[in-house]
Amino acid sequence: MPVFDYSFTVNAPLEAVAEFHRNPLALKQLTPPPMLMQVHRFEPLSEGSVSDFTLWLGPVPFHWIAIHSNVDFPRGFTDTQQQGPMKTWAHTHTFTAESEQVSRVSEHIEYEYRSGLPGLLSRLLFSGPGLHLLFTYRKMTTRRHLRKRDS
């Protein structure tokens, strides 16, 4: 099973980083162009809560339903695809304090592709290079958002 790991620091306290990721609007903010996100349902983040959304890449929709588990704020949570473009997808977000004003965001994803055309499309978007670009965008967005918080 492929694994993707990505980690970065943010000049913000642990609680601020966790609250940003807990906010339902964060999912849209963390979606890079040219993707668009349509949120169908986003329950407040808690054990067993559901996120139901569609990622659009041009005219191609990727409908996704994720269930949250291991919710332990401010330390992190896991979202596991219940329905979506991947055969399996479990994404663990971990937040750790490096100091009072610096936090580390660590992303760990275990995933498998579907076979056939759905698998081909998801391989294009969610391959190693695609995930690296996605999480580089998320790093920049997280840093920008939390910098604005202090302004």
How many structural domains compose the chain? Answer: 1
CATH number of the domain that residue 98 is part of? 3.30.530.20
**What is the per-residue pLDDT for 18?**
96
Q: Tell me the DSSP string of 13-74.
A: -HHHHHHHHHSHHHHHHTSPTTEEEEEEEE--SSTT-EEEEEEEETTEEEEEEEEEEEEETT
- Contacts with 14 (C-beta within 8 Å, 6 or more apart), sequence order: 74, 95, 96, 97, 103
User: Is the per-residue pLDDT at 149 higher than 70?
Assistant: no
Contact 81, 88 (CB under 8 A): yes
Mean pLDDT of 133-146: 96
At 82-138, the pLDDT tens digits run: 999 999 999 999 999 999 999 999 999 999 999 988 788 888 888 999 999 999 999
User: Is the per-residue pLDDT at 69 higher than 90?
Assistant: yes
Tokens (6 digits) for 38: 């349509």
Mean pLDDT of 77-82: 98
Owning domain of residue 41: 3-150
> Can you name the residues that pair with 62 across neighbouring β-strands?
55
